[in-house]
Amino acid sequence: MLKKAPLRRASCAIILLLAIGGRAALAADQTCASPARFGPTTVGARPAPFTDARDYRAVFQQCHDAAGRARLATRRFVLGETKLLLTVDPATLETSVEAEACWTCADTTDAAQGDTRFIKAIDVAARASGVTPAKHPDYLRNAGLAHGAGEGAFITGDLCPSSRPLDRSFLAALTSPGGSTPVALSISGLWLAHHGEDFQWLREQARTGALAITWVNHSYHHPYAPGRPLAENFLLEPGVDMRAEVFDTERLLLANGETPSVFFRFPGLISNAAQMETLREDHLIALGADAWLVFSPPLRPGDIVLVHPNGNEPDGLRRFARLRASGALRGPFRPLAQAPQ
Ligand SMILES: [Zn+2]
């Protein structure tokens, strides 16, 4: 059932075809709502493939809409029949998907946007080279934003590929009566592709307001070879297509109805200067960590705390629970977009 949107100035129609359970298509239309309503091309336990987000490319444009809102667009793509933009608010760093037809955009540059919090945060993260081991100047460890501004803590959970189920009890325990506990989940494409039901459970936690999830890109394949030197491991494995690892994960999130944030976390926190530069060019903030809890570091205000709720690190989750119960890990837990200065 298709409905024609009214033909009037400054209005447009977005029609997304949603195949419900593989059956008949449902059409929805709207008039330049911001953010745009967009949804997975299929609904169910099996995630939509990343290829559903088509014609995907990086852009950098300054955009405004008829209501006077301003955004920077960083990606263009097509979902269903609709041309969409992935945009960022340059002050809050919040991302949103917008209908391209509802916005007026013009190319811009990093220099022209250099005074924005967005570009400053990208530059600071790109310059933060982390640890360069003396014997291995060819790779970086924990480069990027590794400590947050202000009080409290930034809880980040990595969803590296895993054959184990999501540790839902850990995430459920994060929720509080006030609701919308912020948590950043670094999601790998292979985790999402193989954990459709867990992904839908996470979306439900966000929809009901239990959790406020920031989706961090953790690469699509998240390569890892136990025992291999770090300079040739994780995304530094020979043959890795860094840009495809970044974009295909974004596309997978978008094809499944979620909005990628401006953050990217390197698998193993291992990178090199060239990959850091790729992130900068693609307007992403490299995300490190202060505290990989399983290694028991001291805690400070503004810590970016790293845990693995993917079933692979139960010791870290138990330690998290103990630190929280003892008061050593104090809130408030804050949205990751507040972590950069
Ligand atoms: Zn990982």
Per-residue pLDDT of the chain (341 residues; tens, 9 = 90+): 333 333 333 334 333 333 333 222 223 345 788 899 888 766 666 899 999 999 999 999 999 999 999 999 999 999 999 999 999 999 999 999 999 999 999 999 999 999 999 999 999 999 987 776 666 678 999 999 999 999 999 999 999 999 999 999 999 999 887 789 999 999 999 999 999 999 999 999 999 999 999 999 999 999 999 999 999 999 999 999 999 999 999 999 999 999 999 999 999 999 999 999 999 999 999 999 986 665 556 688 999 999 999 999 998 899 889 888 888 888 899 999 999 99
State the pLDDT at residue 39: 80
CA 57–ligand 1 middle distance (angstroms):
25
**Distance (Å, whole) CA 130 – CA 144:** 7
Q: Please check whether residue 71 is in contact with residue 86, taking contact to mean a CB–CB distance below 8 angstroms.
A: no
> Packing angle between helix 117-127 and helix 273-281, nearest 10 degrees?
170
Helix (H, G, I), strand (E, B) or coil at 304: strand
CA 159–ligand 1 middle distance (angstroms):
6
CA 15–ligand 1 middle distance (angstroms):
36
**Distance (Å, whole) CA 327 – CA 320:** 11
CA 246–ligand 1 middle distance (angstroms):
14
CA 114–ligand 1 middle distance (angstroms):
31
CA 219–ligand 1 middle distance (angstroms):
9
**Distance (Å, whole) CA 79 – CA 254:** 8
Task: Quote the distance between the C-alpha of residue 133 and its chain's center.
Answer: 28
CA 119–ligand 1 middle distance (angstroms):
26
State the pLDDT at residue 23: 26
CA 37–ligand 1 middle distance (angstroms):
30
CA 245–ligand 1 middle distance (angstroms):
13
Q: Which residues have CB less than 5 Å away from ligand 1 (the ion)? A: 158, 160, 267
Is the preceding peptide bond at 298 cis, omega within 30 degrees of 0? no
State the pLDDT at residue 21: 31
Going edge to edge, which strands form the sheet with 25-28?
Answer: 25-28, 16-20, 42-43
CA 310–ligand 1 middle distance (angstroms):
9
CA 162–ligand 1 middle distance (angstroms):
10
CA 169–ligand 1 middle distance (angstroms):
20
Cβ atoms within 10 Å, residue 305: 23
List residues bridging with 186 in a β-sheet. Answer: 158, 216
State the pLDDT at residue 26: 29
CA 31–ligand 1 middle distance (angstroms):
40
Helix (H) or strand (E) holding 127: helix 117-127
CA 224–ligand 1 middle distance (angstroms):
9
CA 266–ligand 1 middle distance (angstroms):
7
Q: Please check whether residue 293 is in contact with residue 323, taking contact to mean a CB–CB distance below 8 angstroms.
A: yes
State the pLDDT at residue 38: 86
Backbone phi, then psi, for 189, in 5-degree steps?
-60, -40
What residue spans define the domains of the chain?
Answer: 16-106, 123-338
Helix (H, G, I), strand (E, B) or coil at 238: coil
Q: Please check whether residue 73 is in contact with residue 87, taking contact to mean a CB–CB distance below 8 angstroms.
A: yes
State the pLDDT at residue 290: 87
CA 41–ligand 1 middle distance (angstroms):
27
The CATH topology of domain 123-338 is: TIM Barrel (3.20.20)
CA 296–ligand 1 middle distance (angstroms):
18
CA 161–ligand 1 middle distance (angstroms):
7
34: tokens are 């911001």
Alpha-carbon torsion 254, 256, 257, 263, what sign?
negative
CA 267–ligand 1 middle distance (angstroms):
4
State the pLDDT at residue 120: 98
What does the DSSP assignment read for 7-69? --TT--B--EEEEETTSSEEEE--BS-SSPP---SEESSSPPPGGGEEEEEEEEEEEEETT--
